[in-house]
Amino acid sequence: MTPTQPSKIVQVKHLKQYFNVGKPNEVKAVDDISFDIYAGETFGLVGESGSGKSTTGRSIIRLYNPTGGQILFQDQDISKIKSHGPEMLKFRRETQMIFQDPYASLDPRMKVKDIIAEGLDIHHLVNSAEQREQRVNDLLKEVGLNPDHATRYPHEFSGGQRQRIGIARALAVDPKFIIADEPISALDVSIQAQVVNLMKDIQRRKNLTYLFIAHDLSMVKYISDRIAVMHQGRLMEMGPADEVYNHPLHPYTKSLLSAVPMPDPELERKRQRLPYDASIENNHEHERQLHEITPGHFVFSTEAEVPQYQDAAEAQAIS
């Protein structure tokens, strides 16, 4: 590990998030996962629907109380924050969320300026009407919208523009950490690239940390520094984005990558899909957890499987 290691902004330790606890239909949406997010990075969380990736995001922003485990934000246990107090207000200001559906996540009866300034008002970040207007105009420019549009309503905007409004709203309170839950999956292809490029630019300018949750693996790879692959509430593999994509080790990651359609007819004709048999995970004879195979690259496996994965990683590194 490098000596100038950036600080951990979020630490998730053995997080468990169960629903309907104790009832016959108990769901283990998140089942004992641990990971850290470093300040300034983009951490990508990928998985299929039902894998628990959105639940993880919602737990981190404390929309749920965890069933087990701990979530530390800037070394503070977020479950210890009182629901209605100055600490919670501070936490809510430092963490923000960008939602999936730009149609459902903006109040249709509010003007754009009021949507963006709502956080400013709640946190008393502006002192006068002029200051408020100035701040809103700056934010609109920041996300590439025309300040003249501040008095319009959400329905007057296209999907991509609405997502820009959602981003401006998140940025209004100067957060440190933003959770983006499938921020582009509802957008058209040509617009997706615009929004992702915008998010990257803003991150560079403001030194933000992102948790980017998505099922579109190629887009996640493009934006993320590190990636964790989630399946049935557990992390299967975690590591630097290039490592996980170019040298996947866990069979689930391989299967998932083999299913991503490539915009290339020749590759598509040759593509072999790798099926994944989830039953190996449910074999409880040997305890499975994340093991570090190569520096920074973790795989969900038993103790005994580690040498096999290390051999595989070595073979891939050579080829």
Partner 1 sequence: MSQNILEVKNLKINFSTFAGTVQAIRNVSFDLRKGETLAIVGESGSGKSVTTRSIMGLLASNAQIKSGEIKFKGQDLLKESAKEMDHHRGNDISMIFQDPMTSLDPTMTIGKQVAEPLLIHGKISKENALKRAQEVLELVGIPNARARMKDYPHQFSGGQRQRIVIAIAIVNYPEILIADEPTTALDVTVQAQIIDLMRELQEKLETSIIFITHDLGVVAGIADRVAVMYAGKIVEYGTVDEIFYEPRHPYTWGLLSSMPTLDIGSHKLASIPGTPPDLLDPPQGDAFAARNPYAMNIDFQAQPPFFQVSETHYAATWLLHPDAPHVDPPAAIQRRFAEYQKLLQAGQVENPIEGSLNE
**Positions that interact with partner 1 (CB under 8 A):** 48-49, 158-161, 188-194, 196-197, 215-219, 221-222, 245, 255-268, 271, 273, 276
Distance (Å, whole) CA 310 – CA 292: 9
Residue with tokens 């400013």: 120
Helices 129-142 + 159-171 axis angle, to 10: 130
Choice between 90 and 271, CB closer to partner 1: 271
Residue with tokens 């239909």: 25
Which C-beta is closer to partner 1: that of 78 or that of 106? 106
Hey, is 178 helix, strand or coil?
Answer: strand
Nearer to partner 1, 122 or 260 (CB): 260
CB 253 to partner 1: min, Å: 12
DSSP string of 48-95? -TTSSHHHHHHHHTTSS--SEEEEEETTEEGGGS-SSSHHHHHHHHHE
Tokens encoding 29? 């949406």
Closest contact distance (angstroms) between CB of 52 and partner 1 is: 14
Nearest residue to 155 via CA among 99, 104, 98: 104
Residue 120: count other Cβ atoms within 10 Å of its Cβ.
19
Phi and psi of 290, rounded to 5°? -75, 125
Q: Alpha-carbon distance 5 to 38, whole Å?
A: 9
Nearest distance, CB of residue 240 and partner 1, angstroms: 12
Q: How far is the CB of 83 from partner 1 (least distance, A)?
A: 34
**CB closer to partner 1, 20 vs 128:** 20
Q: How far is the CB of 315 from partner 1 (least distance, A)?
A: 20
Please, what is the minimum distance in Å from the beta carbon of residue 47 to partner 1? Answer: 9
